[in-house]
Structure 1
């Protein structure tokens, strides 16, 4: 008798997930955290941190996610195009300082650079007056999970088996069968064009936020950092240099300042807030300014080291939406920050050293 086509479909999904296992794990670790109040008594900040350490190992003094990184500083030139949508001072015409961090998703601070690792750009934009805009973006078009419970379930399914050192494919298969939204989102992610490095990657905020203007009118928004540097396709992994993508970024910045256009997508009232679902292509895109990063420093002595890139730190004129993931991330970002502050004295040097930065990326 012929096999049930639904079973065949599930098997095909499992095979595909196995083929991109490392990338999926990085995506799972890449963007969301879980706050305890979403499922009181069951899912807490501590459990999620324990989950990250079960997947990645415990690395004292490092961020529990986006552990391998490099600091950057520069500025944001606002062109004023965002003013009709938001009263935030950071969007008024002018220049404000930026502290940023490039990183890989996942909690392994010494993982060798590889083309399939999810890249991130986190920024703190700090205009005069004490308000801040903090944002954490990654280079995939949608987030693979529709809620925080699904994220946590996938993370636990990804915990390496003690005998094989790899995730159990049967657990991943069962997770995929129970979470069709995840399978659909992974399909979208798999179609993206991966760039050659950090400098020419597009970074997406993914979550839905709300802009509020001076008149009190509000609109749902998502934002992205779109590179001015020209796109080039991803190349093969470099042999013999575990930091080759970071070193390429350092070399790029040594040649000239790196720039990204900040682009805000204006949503409609009925657009989904869940980050696993894309918005229609015909939504209005507004270029609100340009981020320029002209100085890189190793994280061991960098200005980004003590910043918690909490995406709910927003100025007046920007708020969170019904999308619960930013609030969940905020809770566990705080937990991770507290842990690494306690562990500061025991933290070893990071993988990307100041010597590499000063050498212009020539390791």
Structure 2
């Protein structure tokens, strides 16, 4: 249980958590009927996010600053009994990925945002694709699209400071006790000095379907094989994480293990704010091997929409409403930046 904060310490902590939440925010818009009589569409929520965080034509509307990578996934075969998806049995599956930091500003210093992300596309030899977008937090602060909208409002910058109002954030968290796990994670989180030694979580639950048609609910995460090292207290290079990744890959490939956590009866499979018990069974599905990085957005990932609902046969979405929300928001972001880039005559 965390120690209560008071006065300036509480304000600083709430602001830090709020900024972390805000970096995640644009990825979780919803398609219909949130609050009040007006329909809140993906376009409206992306408009709101850009109004708060800034408008950068041609860029992704969240996790705008990133770089493309490529490599392969080496299956362990241990997940094959859980899912008929070919990715779990094919020995070597080509992947395209993207490392990024949260937020809409493609010029932000790499170390100015706590949230980091890894998006991956697996292309198996049966012609099917699996796309997944993962973030450093293991859970979300909220469970529903309605709560997300309240979160967006709570994150509105104070004109006097340019940052979220700590009192408003405090009120939001007080009204949303489901945020407890996220707040505890944010309190304990220690940033690493590299993308290479960061863990990335899929957050939402999915249903694996085996060859006999039986379903198995799981959450997944990528666990680095590169040892932990803390982020330095002072970093002057605005592209610190990108330059670090490039330098590391010059020395050789980097690896992450894909860990599947299996739900048991009663575990909340439709609530991304609720963690599962630590003793749940885990399966090491294989190893993600990243071999090369390409400069900024000039790579194969540039034109990919890492929609989490692009799934192969053998992996199905749960009924988590935020999965549908993410899919709709990603589509809006992709279509908007594509139109903007076409108008600019270039692709950032």
TM-score by length of 2: 0.91
Deviation at residue 150 of structure 1 after TM alignment: 1.5
In structure 1, what is the equivalent of residue 47 of structure 2? 50
Unaligned runs of 5+ in 2: none
Q: More displaced, 145-154 or 54-63?
A: 145-154
In structure 1, what is the equivalent of residue 257 of structure 2? 261
Secondary structure, aligned partner of 2:183? helix
Q: Is contact 2:82-2:216 (8 Å) kept?
A: yes
Q: Is contact 1:35-1:330 (8 Å) kept?
A: no
Q: Is contact 2:181-2:275 (8 Å) kept?
A: no
In structure 2, what is the equivalent of residue 112 of structure 1? 109
Q: What pairs up with 1:202-281 in 2 under 5 angstroms? A: 202-239=199-236, 241-273=237-269, 274-281=271-278
Distance in 2, Cα, partners of 1:86 & 1:119: 28
Deviation at residue 178 of structure 1 after TM alignment: 1.6
Distance in 1, Cα, partners of 2:223 & 2:5: 39
Unaligned runs of 5+ in 1: 1-6, 351-363
User: Does the C-alpha gap of structure 1 residues 165 and 192 become closer, same or farther in structure 2, counting only changes over 3 Å?
Assistant: closer
User: Does the C-alpha gap of structure 1 residues 261 and 115 become closer, same or farther in structure 2, counting only changes over 3 Å?
Assistant: farther
User: Does the C-alpha gap of structure 1 residues 278 and 338 become closer, same or farther in structure 2, counting only changes over 3 Å?
Assistant: same
Q: What pairs up with 1:166-177 in 2 under 5 angstroms? A: 166-177=163-174
Distance in 1, Cα, partners of 2:12 & 2:114: 19
After superposition, what is the alpha-carbon deviation per residue over 1:85-144, rounded to whole angstroms, capped at 9, x for unaligned?
101011114111100000011111111121652110000001123211110001122212
Deviation at residue 163 of structure 1 after TM alignment: 3.6
Q: Is contact 2:102-2:113 (8 Å) kept?
A: no
Secondary structure, aligned partner of 2:141? coil
Mapped pair 1:157 → 2:161: no
**What's the Cα RMSD here?**
2.3
Distance in 1, Cα, partners of 2:158 & 2:345: 27
TM-score by length of 1: 0.88
Deviation at residue 15 of structure 1 after TM alignment: 5.3
Q: More displaced, 242-251 or 9-18?
A: 9-18
Mapped pair 1:318 → 2:336: no
User: Does the C-alpha gap of structure 1 residues 166 and 11 become closer, same or farther in structure 2, counting only changes over 3 Å?
Assistant: closer
Distance in 2, Cα, partners of 1:8 & 1:228: 35
Deviation at residue 8 of structure 1 after TM alignment: 9.0
In structure 2, what is the equivalent of residue 126 of structure 1? 123
Deviation at residue 160 of structure 1 after TM alignment: 1.6
After superposition, what is the alpha-carbon deviation per residue over 1:225-284, rounded to whole angstroms, capped at 9, x for unaligned?
111111212222312x11111111111111111111111111113111211111111111
Deviation at residue 285 of structure 1 after TM alignment: 0.7
User: Does the C-alpha gap of structure 1 residues 164 and 14 become closer, same or farther in structure 2, counting only changes over 3 Å?
Assistant: closer
Give the total of aligned pairs: 342
Mapped pair 1:307 → 2:304: yes
1:75 to 72, 77, 88: 72
Distance in 1, Cα, partners of 2:345 & 2:248: 29
Mapped pair 1:145 → 2:142: yes
Distance in 2, Cα, partners of 1:13 & 1:183: 15
Q: Is contact 2:114-2:191 (8 Å) kept?
A: no
Distance in 2, Cα, partners of 1:337 & 1:44: 15
Q: Is contact 2:217-2:263 (8 Å) kept?
A: yes
Distance in 2, Cα, partners of 1:339 & 1:28: 17
